[in-house]
Structure 1
Amino acid sequence: MPRSRPPYPPEFRRQMVELVRSGRTPEELAREFEPSAQAIRNWVRQADVDEG
């Protein structure tokens, strides 16, 4: 089954991670932007792993 939309660009993901780290909640960002709160939480978790 094909994806409904192309993946989000890395720069957009980095912006979401930075917004969460600055105090915004994934749920708040999910309402304002398109990705789900769970996707944003996953990006933050992956960024934490990548950065050690």
Structure 2
Amino acid sequence: MGAKEVVQPEFEAALELSRHLLTTLGEQESHIRNVITNIRTDRYRSIRPIGS
């Protein structure tokens, strides 16, 4: 139908809550960023067309 990206708001909210929790617990921002990027990539890979 012309959509180029799909975003799952509940999933994104959960990632941001996780980021906040890890920051509060003293985790390094660079580590948090890497972990969240990996989780996001793995999750959205399942709904993206092959080759994207």
Normalising by structure 2, we get a TM-score of 0.43
Using CA pairs under 8 Å that are at least 6 residues apart, name the structure with larger relative contact order, 1 or 2.
1
Select the structure of larger CA radius of gyration.
Answer: 2
